[in-house]
Amino acid sequence: MSVINSLLRHARSFIIHVRTVFIRNLMKFDFKPYSKPTIVFESFGGRQVSDSPYAIYETLKDSSTVNCVWSIKQDQQAYCEAHQIPYVIRRTLKWAMTLEKAQAWVVNARMPQWVRKPKHVYYVQTWHGTPLKKLGLDIKSVTMPNTTTEIYHQNFVRETDRWDTLISANSYATQIFKNAFDYHHEILETGYPRNDKLINTTAADILKIKKRLGISAKKKVVMYAPTYRDNDFAAKGKYLFKMPFSIDQLLKTLGEDTVLILRMHYLIVSQLNLSMYQGRVFDFSDYHDISDLYLISDLLITDYSSVFFDYAYLKRPIVFYPYDYYEYKDELRGFYLNYKTDLPGNIAWNEQELLTLSNKELHNEEKNVSKKMEKFYQNFCQQHSGDSSDRIAKKILKKLKTQN
């Protein structure tokens, strides 16, 4: 049986290889663009229908002047069909043809190097976070699988040179993107479209979200959202993660009126067994709209993930738990900000401090916004007016109109 399974795996790999080679060769040809302007949206390499591309899609989907279609992995097909979202499945013939004939791409992460960008395509890169940890050319030693530092840098610059417009959340991010991406094209400092919801959502809307997610309106919500570690991987683009604190101890400390929700980075593939925590712990790592999770959360716990830049729009408490701080800072990525002084919350350096700080912040009845948070908000959040999606959608439509 093991021999048969091995043969089947090799056969599948061979078929995928042949198909990929065919698609790569197909993309070398020039195709006539669609007669009706078509926009392809993609989020996190097709893993989700989410983030800023989704916010822009929501603004454009009912427009009579364009067609909108999502580039997805096959496991997102059921979601798209259930929500009547037009789609093409990645690495299929139809997908390749759609990309090559479309007039615009709206993407939040890098596209494969072998995907050819035709001259008629307007490529909008929304990116997926305000950077805390080093990016692109600023990563001095790359520990990711199947690459070297030199190749990683070269590929990064090749990709960023294809972008026509890059979306930035603030002037801080703009300057980093210019340097880390060696980027010389247009930057729109509009704020991220995904964060429009954080500014425009009402208290009544938040209660509806909690109900839809199966969380009682009376419960306090703590969200844990860590990032991945470059050197802890299962394969290229797939990273492992081990919970760095006791869920039992955290729940015990925070009390029966509190639930924990988990939001792992989209590249993390390791699964946690949460069956014993039914009703107290929810894994929303695959939930399509992280903004909903921010809105229902009373406290965020994170490490080096850029999620705190977005969560700060709500001016709610954040606890940072950098359990491997020196290794991450000195050996893996490093930071743009001073981690110890510039963050909008308190730092827990060990598990006991995590429990104490989380309990203190969650049950603080005064609800005062800290000076750290207020300063951070002024520097990184204040300029976002809640209409980023509309502004970018109008720019795309204007661009497509001038192309015809």
Q: Give a yes or no: residue 23 inside a domain.
A: no
Q: What is the pLDDT of residues 309-324, one digit of tens each?
A: 999 999 999 999 999 8
Q: Give a yes or no: residue 77 inside a domain.
A: yes
Buried b (16+ CB within 10 A) or exposed e, 340-374: eeebbbbbbeeeeebbebbbebbeeeeeeebeebe
Residue 396 has pLDDT above 80, yes or no: yes
Q: Give a yes or no: residue 395 inside a domain.
A: yes
Q: 223 and 79 in one domain?
A: no
Read off the pTM.
0.88
Average pLDDT, integer, range 360-389: 90
What is d(CA 197, CA 362) in angstroms, rounded to the nearest whole number?
23
Q: Give a yes or no: residue 124 inside a domain.
A: yes
62, 34 in Cβ contact below 8 A? no
What is d(CA 157, CA 137) in angstroms, rounded to the nearest whole number?
8
pLDDT band at 239 (very low <50, low <70, confident <90, very high): low
pLDDT of residue 211: 97
Q: 327 and 228 in one domain?
A: yes
Q: Give a yes or no: residue 7 inside a domain.
A: no
Q: Which amino acid is at 91?
A: R
Residue 273 has pLDDT above 50, yes or no: yes
Q: What is the pLDDT of residues 31-61, one digit of tens each?
A: 899 999 999 999 999 999 999 999 999 999 9
Torsion of CA 316, 322, 323, 326, to 10 degrees: -170
Q: 212 and 178 in one domain?
A: no
pLDDT of residue 146: 76
pLDDT band at 122 (very low <50, low <70, confident <90, very high): very high
Q: What is the pLDDT of residues 83-99, one digit of tens each?
A: 999 999 999 999 999 99
What is d(CA 205, CA 296) in angstroms, rounded to the nearest whole number?
10
Q: 218 and 91 in one domain?
A: no
First to last CA, the chain: 58
Q: What is the DSSP letter of 245?
A: S
Cβ-proximal residues to 288 (8 Å cutoff; 6+ apart), any chain: 48, 49, 50, 54, 79
Distance of CA 208 to the CA centre of its chain: 24
pLDDT band at 329 (very low <50, low <70, confident <90, very high): confident
pLDDT band at 17 (very low <50, low <70, confident <90, very high): confident
Angle at 66 between CA 64 and CA 70, to 5 degrees: 120
Q: Give a yes or no: residue 399 inside a domain.
A: yes
Which range of residues forms the domain containing residue 332? 197-380
Q: 394 and 373 in one domain?
A: no
Name residue 87's beta-bridge partners: 70
Strands, E, within 143-271: which ranges? 165-167, 186-188, 220-225, 233-235, 238-239, 258-262
Residue 270 has pLDDT above 60, yes or no: no
Cβ-proximal residues to 378 (8 Å cutoff; 6+ apart), any chain: none
Average pLDDT, integer, range 158-162: 95
pLDDT of residue 268: 55
Average pLDDT, integer, range 175-186: 96
241, 227 in Cβ contact below 8 A? no
Q: 282 and 158 in one domain?
A: no
What is d(CA 131, CA 133) in angstroms, rounded to the nearest whole number?
6
pLDDT of residue 234: 47
Residue 160 has pLDDT above 80, yes or no: yes
pLDDT of residue 271: 65
Question: Which CATH number goes with the domain that contains 133?
Answer: 3.40.50.11820
Question: Can you list the alpha helix ranges (DSSP code H) found in 304-350?
Answer: 307-311, 325-327
* Residue 90, CA distances (Å) to 71, 97, 101, 104 in order: 6, 11, 15, 17
Q: 217 and 354 in one domain?
A: yes
Residues written for the chain: 404
Domain count, the chain: 2
pLDDT of residue 6: 73
Question: Can you list the alpha helix ranges (DSSP code H) found in 61-170?
Answer: 77-82, 93-101, 149-160
Q: 84 and 178 in one domain?
A: yes
Q: 64 and 182 in one domain?
A: yes
Q: 204 and 166 in one domain?
A: no
Question: Which CATH number goes with the domain that contains 347?
Answer: 3.40.50.12580
Q: What is the mean pLDDT of the chain?
A: 90
Q: Give a yes or no: residue 6 inside a domain.
A: no
Between the ranges 116-125, 283-292, 366-375, where is the mean pLDDT highest? Answer: 116-125
Q: 208 and 149 in one domain?
A: no
Q: What is the pLDDT of residues 211-233, one digit of tens each?
A: 999 999 999 999 999 887 665 55
Q: 363 and 214 in one domain?
A: yes
Q: Give a yes or no: residue 317 inside a domain.
A: yes
pLDDT band at 365 (very low <50, low <70, confident <90, very high): confident
What is d(CA 195, CA 29) in angstroms, rounded to the nearest whole number?
38
